[in-house]
Structure 1
Amino acid sequence: MEARKESGDDGIAEILAAVGPRLRRMRTARGMTLTAVAGRTGLSVSALSRVETGNRQPTLDILIPLAQVYRVTLDQLVAPPQTGDPRVNLRPRSLAGGGTIVPLTGYPGRVQVFKHVLGPRAPRLVSHPGHAWLHVLAGRLRLLLDDDEHILVPGETAQFDPVTPHWFGPADGGTVEILHLFGPQGERPVDRTLPGSGPSLGP
């Protein structure tokens, strides 16, 4: 019995020890400083620093506001990180308006990546918060942004605020294949143009 108890204690200690580095990775991945996180959570910079470095045990009064700021669940803060390919359990699904979507990531509250294969369908403008980024892999894409129409060919990209009424689909009677990155409000892909790479293409 005692051996099992010690084993369980070691497991809990290992999970708690992983929380601090995970919090630091989440913060730096979002480009946030300790001061910025402190301002949004009401926690002190010193408390956040001690948790990240493992000098203070993470408690619910610290983890809950951090989960809200980082837009993740408490399980994602505390549970051991998953191993292996995160795409293994993801499945294609059919779209009501026609076509197929394949989720390529599974990170709630962060930028999501999908592969779309879209067939002919009638335009229907929609509007919602967030940020959208499209990249054409094959075919020709027709993108409607309110009263504006854009045609994109393979290799071209477009970024837009989906609060603007929008729709996208094939530009002709065939199919179009695209990568679609979508982030909640305030989360978007970082567009970093490197020397010699040329300008980004978009609408």
Structure 2
Amino acid sequence: MQGSVGTKIREARKERNVTLRDLSERTGLSVSQLSKLENGKARLTVDVALMIAGVLHVPVASFLFRPKPGLQARRSITRSGSGVMHEGNAMSFEVLCSDFRDKTNIFWRVTLTAKSFEENGGWRSHSGEEFVHVLSGRLELHTIHYDPAVLNPGDSILFDGEMQHAYVALGGDPVVMLMSNTVPRDGLPAGV
């Protein structure tokens, strides 16, 4: 699909023989709001893009991202156990798929053994957003503004990295999680 976001939405809708009224009824958005989106007179948010993509059965990325000229065929593979390792306070970070230039995320496979807030080194914070998906173990995520959240295997959380946070492994087993951090606009931190 080429063109603006609004054009992409309109094309996807028409390819599936869905009227604006049908899309309105199925998303809960007004016909007027949908028309403004399609005509470029309203900004598309991630939540709205997810609703529309779900109804039209298209990848949400087709609405949210524009391909970069010359970079559409990139890929990066990290074989099991071959990522660059970083060690922290009772945490080990394996950097995954790190060889793209101009990337917007850092991906990690993290193993946490800290059984207490202090063992994890206390509060940490950084720019951007942090996404965590628990693969195994039970994670207790502490944040300065919320009560601790307990995450079990299969649970995920996304939060602002600027908010002070810390991790604790509950029970006797380490926590293994997939983590992604957005890259600050001014580039990657040194050593990543």
Q: TM-score, normalised by structure 1?
A: 0.47
Asked which structure has the greater CA Rg, the reply is 1
More strand by share: 2
Q: TM-score, normalised by structure 2?
A: 0.50
More helix by share: 1
